[in-house]
Amino acid sequence: MKKLRTIQVKKLSATNTQGTRIKLTDTFYNGRNSERKTTVTIPYNYALNGAIDHGLEFCKECNINIFGYSYNTRNYTYSLLTTDFKTELKKRGNK
């Protein structure tokens, strides 16, 4: 069986102080004793079509190759699937 890393993508609704956002969580490293950044929150881009497109675009910017996804109907999140365990989630503009 192949080992996979998942990156969870969730849409965060607007609040009184912030607009709609997208949160990406690296579920493989999240909660582990690691110095890696495991979550990134990015602004919602209305030119893109939903949370899945935001997640795919962000992973592409980070050079993380996504080959599949699943959708969780209980908590309305996408899980992006990759075999890349080396590349970290990075904030936009960081190299």
pLDDT digit string, tens, across residues 10-68: 999 999 999 999 999 998 877 665 666 788 999 999 999 999 999 999 999 999 999 99
Confidence of residue 88 (pLDDT cuts 50, 70, 90): confident
pLDDT for residue 28: 82
Q: CB of 43 within 8 A of CB of 21?
A: yes
More confident residue, 94 or 23: 23
pLDDT for residue 89: 86
